[in-house]
Amino acid sequence: MEDLLVYIVRGFPAGCVYGLVAMAIVLTYKTSGVFNLAFGAQAYVAAAVFYKLGKEHDWPIGVAAALAVLVVSPLLALGLEYFIFRHMRTQPLVVKLVAALGLLTALPEITKLWFGKEIKNLPPSVAPSPDRLYKITDRVTITQDRLVTVIASLLVFAALTALFRYTVLGLRMRAITESPRMVELAGVNANMVSRVAWTLSGFLAGLAGVLFAHTEPQLRPDNYTGLLIVSIAAAAFGLFKSIPRTLAGGMIIAIVGGQMIPGWLGVERTITSYIRPSFPFLMLFAILVFVPGIRQSRETTDPLAGVDPPPPALAASYRDAQLDRLTRKILFPAFIAAVLYLVLFLLPGLWVSRVTEGVCLAVIFLSITVLTGLSGQLSLAQSVFAGAGAFTVGQLSERYGWNPLIGLLFGALIAAAAGALVALPAMRLGGLYLAVATFALALLAQNALYGRDWVGGFAGQVDIPRPKAFGIDFGEDKPFFVLCAVILTLLSYAVIFVRRGSTGRFLFAMRGSETAAAASAINPVKYKLIVFAFSSFIAGVGGALLGMYQGVASTGFEGQSIFSPFYGLVFVVLVVTLGVRTIQGAIVAAMSFVLFPLLLEWLKLPIEFSLILFGFGAITFARHPEGIMEANTRKSVLRAAENKANPRLARKRRLIAWAMMCAIAVPVLVRSATRDAGATELNVGFTVLPIECGTAWEAYTDFDPEGVDAAQRPALHSACKTEARKHFTHTSGIKLWDYGGAWKALFLFLFGFLRFSPSLIDGRRQGGRPSDESGEQVPGPTDREEVSV
Amino acid sequence: MATATGSGTTVSSPEAGATAGAGAGVRATTPLLAVEHIDAGYGPFRSLFDVSFTIEEGAATAILGPNGCGKTTTARVVTGLVKPTAGRLLLDGVDITGLPAWRIARAGIIHAPEGRSVFASLTVEENLALTFVAQLGKKESPRALQRAYELFPRLGERRKQQAGTLSGGEQRMLSLARVMVNPPRLLVADELSLGLAPIIVDEVFQTLETVKSTGTSILIVEQHVQRALALADHAVLISKGSVVASGPVEEIRAHVDEIIPSGL
């Protein structure tokens, strides 16, 4: 009996914090339809402010906490609402979810620019003497810090419950849950109510962030991501609506999952180390799948949903016939040929290697195009399916000596089987719940499977050899690049055929309305299974290729492997932001993922900028939910029509485009011709090393390139090169240090051409709406035949 | 007077109405609502082309037309749910184009939307309170609630019941109760009879008559053409997104059969 009390007292404060974040999630989800996964990041921001002011600047702890919780966090939430989520109110859930995911990754990085990148130890507590003990019984004690957490949380819960039950504001918030438009028709400013709700949720997230800070030895963003996911489980227990049940959910996770089960099983046993971190995800998954009431979809309850326009047809489908022929028959093949020529004959080894990585990633991203673009389902477990492919290849070749190409097929089949398994719960889930469930499964896989030696290997990594087949050794970079490119092409065509065929049409129909599709004799169960299996098959192939490229598949420590669930989030955000309905969207996403760090390096910006730009990507995305690529294509189609109608305008635009290109390219050429090669070589070369190699080398020597004097550099230079080759076995042929400025110029020139040329993918200047005349010249999809006849 | 451009039955042009309101000072000639050359649609799809008509104070105006001709879109434009891409809306001669829906609602245009129009998860009382607090203020709200229950005792019996569990007719009563207690300047009634049993439809139209007799103008969108014409003083005929005829009901009756297939 006393044991039970101990468990409850130990678990209670954590349960309160889970409850707070869960409340914030429910609040914004219900009042604005945004399932805000960025709360983890918002809580982290509040904690960072609290830490910086309270610990590093020695402000009074109460003032620091008040500023973080009452000012910074609510303002941040309000800002997010105002700049991002306000514009997405009528967008589909997937769009909002992706914007929130983008923020979850970007916000901590932006904060770190001010907060500092170093490890932040021992976060402070709001309590004046946090470690002072209070006795409940002889054996049961509670620290002051925890006591403060419990009291503050319970007060907030009581206030919130009263607010919802008894006030006008609460009534309005509950009404908005159902239909913001109907609330407007009653004469209430729905935007204002939603803003109040966001501010309130910001306060809750901030409070949770500050209270949670002291419970961990270090202040790290991933702690807060973990907190967020656990809180989603608590919110699910409250069926995403009830306040008391949400609190109870938090308590069950903290007390039963965190204390009781480990207590009964024995804390030291291995099984406990698997079950304890997995408990919230298991619970979340079980609730999502087995509780029927939770899945009442929000969209179907808004009687005024018909006010929103349907998604437009793909821009390419109403392109002018001449431009269409030009793009398909000449420009596209020419572009591909140019890229192949560049990679195979001109680019230095490093670039070949990065482009190959991009191709492998593009295969993984293609699986998102299939699942999200084609069938409208959102899965956050694609990186784990990719991992299934990679680990299978590694294990098969290591244990049984299989040819990696056969292993790749096998790995993809295993990934497909896993995907079909995931599809089983997807039968009953959709939209948000499917996304959350897949993420729970991904975390479960990472916690329970990745650590096993028959999955992730003994030291957390499996070696993956590159194949030798048809008399070719794919161990060399260039043959391997060709292999990857061929596989990507084959899979792309497979996707195109599926999209054009009856399966694609059925999937489109299901995306529109599953009920209507079923009424048209389409079996939704069958096609969901097919699309999940197909998509994870592709992800498995991509994962295996990526593993071969890296030479190793690691489970990652602290979740930083490319196969960890975190990257599942990043992948989806990237692909959806750039364009999820087209294959070029996937390819561009993959290429920007690998080439962007190089570009940043060249511009001398810190690598964190890529994640920050990710956040700005989310903002752009708010304006172009169809994806940036697709938005560009649409603009170019509109402008092509304009150009045709108005040759003078076209000439002017072409002039501007050329001027732009020259303005960019000339300074670059001049700079590259005059740069001091000797001084920058080492630095540039060093940081551009592939990550595995760079870390290995840094760990090996504790080497700081800035702190070495010039005389020693050549020696270090060659030592580093040798060391890099040792760790990076497959890139024996690469020349790490000799990519010249001309390539940068070419790259930028191409970039500028694609960006500003009027005939290709133009459309940054005069981005406004086209005039009415040209608007009418761009007909709907049905008019395409008329043009081409 | 309902007017339309390009129609033989035009009685007075909207321009004339607007100048009267601005300059001549003869208030009686300013229409309650003037819809001027409205274009509107959903995303890339346009469903209204150059729609113009006016609604007079205290009169009932019916919008008639075949399925998919833009009736509901017209109603949504009037209450601000759909923003027009061109044209103006004038309430008492004041431009209200582009105002958010809640401002238009507070200015006195109430929309009873097509289909279900109550908050299913809120109770009957909460549904009413939401409107009354927004329009009358917190103090007046309890008195307005009392009045609603006097007018519709059925709602009083079910005040603690979730509105989603009411029958279709009761839900209509609930949305009309808001209007009866606090008569707006203009009631936009969009397909109120849709999906209801004939006997309930009778009841709904009786209520509309009562609303009209209190001096509220009504814009009625309806597929029951004969019933709508019986209630309305003016009618606007729409086909394929454009106004084809408008004017007093007696004049319009003759046109109706040409535009709308018999049987509707």
Residues A622 and A662 in one domain: no
Tell me the per-residue pLDDT of A34-51, one tens digit each, with 9 for 90 and over. 888 888 899 999 999 998
Closest chain A C-alpha to B169 CA, distance in angstroms: 17
Alpha carbon distance A507, A524 (integer Å): 9
- Domain annotation covers residue A658: yes
pLDDT number for residue A367: 93
Which of B45, B121, B130 minimises the CB distance to A186? Answer: B130
Alpha carbon distance A274, A444 (integer Å): 9
- Domain annotation covers residue A218: yes
Residues A651 and A556 in one domain: no
Q: Cβ of B110 and A185 within 8 Å?
A: yes
Picking from A183-192, A242-251, A560-569, which range would have the lowest pLDDT averaged per residue? Answer: A560-569
> Does residue A60 come out as left (phi exceeding 0), alpha (psi in the -120 to 50 range) or beta?
beta
Are B90 and B34 a contacting pair, CB within 8 Å?
yes
Q: Cβ of B122 and A175 within 8 Å?
A: yes
* Residue A432, domain extent: 360-629
Closest chain B C-alpha to A646 CA, distance in angstroms: 23
Which of A186, A191, A310 minimises the CB distance to B134? Answer: A186
Alpha carbon distance A734, A722 (integer Å): 12
Closest chain A C-alpha to B127 CA, distance in angstroms: 8
Fill in the amino acid letter for A310.
P
Residues A659 and A613 in one domain: no
The residue with greater pLDDT, A350 or A694, is A350
Are A477 and A731 a contacting pair, CB within 8 Å?
yes
- Domain annotation covers residue A286: no
Which of A187, A308, A312 minimises the CB distance to B134? Answer: A187
Element containing residue B220 per DSSP (H, E): strand B217-221
Which of B42, B120, B135 minimises the CB distance to A187? Answer: B135
pLDDT number for residue A576: 81
Residue A731: pLDDT band by 50, 70, 90 thresholds? very low
Q: Cβ of B126 and A182 within 8 Å?
A: no
pLDDT number for residue A430: 65
Residues of A in contact with B116 (CB under 8 A): 303
Q: For chains A and B, what is the number of CB pairs under 8 angstroms?
A: 88
Which residue do the tokens 């093949």 mark? A333
pLDDT at B13 over 90: no
Tally of domains within chain A: 3
Q: Cβ of B105 and A184 within 8 Å?
A: yes
Which of B44, B113, B130 minimises the CB distance to A312? Answer: B44
Q: Cβ of B100 and A183 within 8 Å?
A: no
Residues of A in contact with B117 (CB under 8 A): 182, 303
User: How many CB atoms sit inside 10 A of residue A749's CB?
Assistant: 16
pLDDT at A442 over 50: yes
The residue with greater pLDDT, A391 or A446, is A391
Please give the ipTM for the structure prediction.
0.81
Element containing residue A718 per DSSP (H, E): helix A713-727
A396-405 contacts, C-beta under 8 A, 24 or more apart: A397/A464, A397/A465, A398/A457, A398/A462, A398/A463, A403/A467, A403/A468, A403/A469, A404/A464, A404/A465, A404/A466, A404/A467, A404/A544, A404/A548, A405/A467, A405/A469
The residue with greater pLDDT, B44 or A224, is A224
pLDDT at A295 over 80: no
User: How many CB atoms sit inside 10 A of residue B68's CB?
Assistant: 11
DSSP A690: -
User: How many CB atoms sit inside 10 A of residue A293's CB?
Assistant: 8
pLDDT at B25 over 60: no
Closest chain A C-alpha to B80 CA, distance in angstroms: 9
The residue with greater pLDDT, B176 or A92, is B176
For A470-536, give the DSSP string. Answer: TTEETTSHHHHHHHHHHHHHHHHHHHHHHHHSHHHHHHHHHHH-HHHHHHTT--HHHHHHHHHHHHH
Which residue do the tokens 């390096």 mark? A601
Closest chain B C-alpha to A186 CA, distance in angstroms: 5
Closest chain B C-alpha to A118 CA, distance in angstroms: 48
Picking from A96-105, A381-390, B95-104, which range would have the lowest pLDDT averaged per residue? Answer: A96-105
Residues A580 and A682 in one domain: no
Q: Cβ of A185 and B138 within 8 Å?
A: no
Picking from A167-176, A637-646, B11-20, which range would have the lowest pLDDT averaged per residue? Answer: B11-20
Residues of A in contact with B179 (CB under 8 A): none
Please state the rounded mean pLDDT for residues A327-347. 74
Judging by DSSP bridges, how do beta strands B86-91 and A141-143 pair with one another?
unpaired
Angle between helices B168-181 and B198-213 (to 10 degrees): 0
Domain ranges of chain B: 14-110+184-259
Q: Cβ of B129 and A190 within 8 Å?
A: no
Residues of B in contact with A181 (CB under 8 A): 81, 101
Output the CA torsion B21→B26→B27→B29 (10° steps).
-80
Please state the rounded mean pLDDT for residues B139-143. 87
Domain termination site, one of A225, A256, A279: A225
Please state the rounded mean pLDDT for residues A215-238. 84
* Interface probe, candidates B50, B130, B176, chain A, greatest A C-beta count within 10 A: B130
- Domain annotation covers residue A579: yes
Residues A212 and A94 in one domain: yes
Q: Cβ of B130 and A303 within 8 Å?
A: no
* Interface probe, candidates A174, A184, A300, chain B, greatest B C-beta count within 10 A: A184
* Structure tokens belonging to residue B156: 């009083």
- Domain annotation covers residue A608: yes
Q: What is the pLDDT of chain A when averaged over all its residues? A: 74
Q: Cβ of A304 and B113 within 8 Å?
A: yes
Record: fold of B14-110+184-259: Rossmann fold (3.40.50)
Q: Cβ of B106 and A301 within 8 Å?
A: no
Alpha carbon distance A546, A550 (integer Å): 6
Please state the rounded mean pLDDT for residues A616-630. 67
Are A134 and A147 a contacting pair, CB within 8 Å?
yes
Q: Does residue A89 belong to the interface with chain B, where contact is any CB pair within 8 Å?
A: no
- Domain annotation covers residue A242: no
Q: Does residue A182 belong to the interface with chain B, where contact is any CB pair within 8 Å?
A: yes
Residue B16: pLDDT band by 50, 70, 90 thresholds? very low
* Residue in A closest to B106 by C-alpha: A187
Residues A597 and A661 in one domain: no
Q: Cβ of A303 and B129 within 8 Å?
A: no
DSSP B261: P
Report residue A197: phi and psi, to 5°.
-60, -40
Q: Cβ of B120 and A301 within 8 Å?
A: yes
Picking from A288-297, A540-549, B205-214, which range would have the lowest pLDDT averaged per residue? Answer: A288-297
Which residue do the tokens 């004469």 mark? A187
Cβ contacts of residue A336 below 8 Å, gap of 6+? none
Which of B115, B131, B178 minimises the CB distance to A303? Answer: B115
Q: Cβ of B130 and A309 within 8 Å?
A: no
Fill in the amino acid letter for A761.
I
Cβ contacts of residue A571 below 8 Å, gap of 6+? A364, A365, A368, A382, A383
Residues A210 and A75 in one domain: yes
Q: CB-side exposure of B37: number of CA atoms within 13 Å?
A: 6
Q: Does residue A116 belong to the interface with chain B, where contact is any CB pair within 8 Å?
A: no
Percent of chain A residues past pLDDT 90, beyond the cut: 8
Residue numbers of A between 289 and 308 with CB closer than 8 Å to B: 301, 303-304, 307-308
Residues of B in contact with A307 (CB under 8 A): 42, 76, 81-82
For A539-596, give the DSSP string. Answer: HHHHHHHHHHHHTEEE--STT-STTSHHHHHHHHHHHHHH-SSSHHHHHHHHHHHHHH
pLDDT at A736 over 50: no
Residues of A in contact with B44 (CB under 8 A): 309, 312, 780
* Interface probe, candidates B119, B140, B182, chain A, greatest A C-beta count within 10 A: B119
Alpha carbon distance A557, A268 (integer Å): 21
Residues of B in contact with A183 (CB under 8 A): 102, 130
* Residue in B closest to A311 by C-alpha: B43
Q: Cβ of B113 and A189 within 8 Å?
A: no
User: How many CB atoms sit inside 10 A of residue B28's CB?
Assistant: 7
Closest chain A C-alpha to B100 CA, distance in angstroms: 8
Q: Residues in chain B whose beta carbon is closer than 8 A to a beta carbon of chain A?
A: 41-45, 76, 79-82, 100-103, 105-106, 110-111, 113, 115-117, 119-122, 126, 129-131, 133-135, 138, 178
pLDDT at A662 over 90: no
Q: Does residue A239 belong to the interface with chain B, where contact is any CB pair within 8 Å?
A: no
- Residue A298 three-state SS: helix
- Domain annotation covers residue A355: no
Alpha carbon distance A784, B5 (integer Å): 34
* Residue in B closest to A169 by C-alpha: B130
Q: Cβ of B113 and A780 within 8 Å?
A: no
Residues A402 and A549 in one domain: yes
Q: Does residue A314 belong to the interface with chain B, where contact is any CB pair within 8 Å?
A: no
* Interface probe, candidates A182, A183, A296, chain B, greatest B C-beta count within 10 A: A182
Residues A606 and A577 in one domain: yes
Tell me the per-residue pLDDT of A341-383, one tens digit each, with 9 for 90 and over. 777 777 666 777 888 888 999 999 999 988 888 887 888 888 8
Residue B20: pLDDT band by 50, 70, 90 thresholds? very low
- Domain annotation covers residue A239: no
Element containing residue A200 per DSSP (H, E): helix A190-213
Report residue B111: phi and psi, to 5°.
-110, 120
